[in-house]
Amino acid sequence: MPPRDVISTLIAEARDEMRRRLEALERYAEELLPLAEDIYLKGGRVEERPPLLRIVSVGEASLEETRRLYRSARRSIRVLTRATQRWRGSLGLQPPGVWR
């Protein structure tokens, strides 16, 4: 086989090998893409969680904040001070599932 044909054959085999590797990478990419997108999208979502503890100071300024807390309670609200319990009647609100 003449040198030119040997070189052409080597180049053709190298191209075929590169093509096979590229096809394998493209298959891996197709498998990986849905997983990567799901992880990426989850990282972009921020779920707002209500705080576990809310401190409301005693006094007229906190009256509206207390009303808002009672209204926003979905299932229950736990009152941990007598000052806030005392206001319940003056607020005209009955929070769901009050724990005393």
- Is 34 in the same domain as 57? no
Number of domains within the chain:
2
| Amino acid (1-letter code) at residue 35 | L
| 3-state DSSP assignment of residue 40 | helix
| Amino acid (1-letter code) at residue 80 | L
pLDDT tens, residue order, the chain (100 aa): 899 999 999 999 999 999 999 999 999 999 999 888 888 877 667 777 777 777 777 776 677 887 888 888 878 777 766 554 555 555 565 555 555 4
CA distances from 76 to 17, 21, 53, 99 (A): 66, 60, 13, 8
The pair of three-digit structure tokens given for residue 61, joined into one six-digit string: 């300024």
State the residue range of the domain holding 40: 1-48
Which residue among 14, 33, 48 closes a domain? 48
pTM, full prediction: 0.38
Closest C-alpha among 92, 40, 30, 33 to residue 67: 92
